[in-house]
Amino acid sequence: MFMDKDALMNLDLIKREKIMRAELGEEKCKIIDKYNLHPNNRIYWVRLQDKYPDQEYFSHKFAKKSSSLGMIFHIYRLCFAKTKYFENNWENFVPCVYNYKKGFVETPIYNMEFIKQKSTGIVLDLQELSKIHRLQEFKDLCNYMEKKQEEALNKCYIHKIG
């Protein structure tokens, strides 16, 4: 059941959240749950925490049209260029979390806090990635990762024939 914004705004909070969650699907709801987000009267997903003001993360419209990766990148305040780069090259990466006993371990997208490049093992912290504000600095990072990926793939190819 898809409802327009005005219809959603007129529902009580429990019904509103149930309908909004149904519109997002399972994986996006796991993101909503991980970050403890709830809909507000403006149809935005917000984090409610005692002793802190409510923090709006994104509109429901954004959540519906965005990918799960896009939602997480938005939570971490990553720009459109970073989101597009990783969405377009996601086959080269895996989502990770840090486990103090095992190091970086793969995890489902909804739970990720780090991104690991498959071929090189290079790990990027989403919080650190959000600190890159200059486009050229991000392009330099991408070029570096692509170069390292090419080197790793060449080593693998040479090893297979050698």
pLDDT tens digits for 31-71?
999 999 999 989 999 998 888 888 999 999 999 999 999 99
In this prediction the pTM is: 0.86
Q: What is the pLDDT of residue 160?
A: 56
Q: What is the pLDDT of residue 161?
A: 54
CA distance 136 to 128: 16
pLDDT tops 70 at residue 1: no
Residue type, position 123, single letter: V
Q: Which pairs with CB-CB distance under 8 Å and at least 24 residues apart come from 104-113?
A: 108/27, 108/30, 109/27, 109/68, 109/69, 109/72, 110/27, 110/28, 110/30, 110/31, 110/34, 110/68, 110/72, 111/30, 111/34, 112/72
Q: What is the pLDDT of residue 141?
A: 96
Residue type, position 145, single letter: M
pLDDT tens digits for 62-120?
999 999 999 999 999 999 999 999 999 999 999 999 999 999 999 999 999 999 999 99
* Edge-to-edge order in the sheet of strand 55-59: 37-39, 44-47, 55-59
Identify the sign of the CA torsion 30, 34, 40, 42.
negative
Q: CA angle at residue 72 from 70 to 77, to 5 degrees?
A: 90
Model confidence band, residue 158 (pLDDT cutoffs 50, 70, 90):
low
Q: Which of 4-13, 19-28, 95-104, 144-153 has the lowest mean pLDDT?
A: 4-13
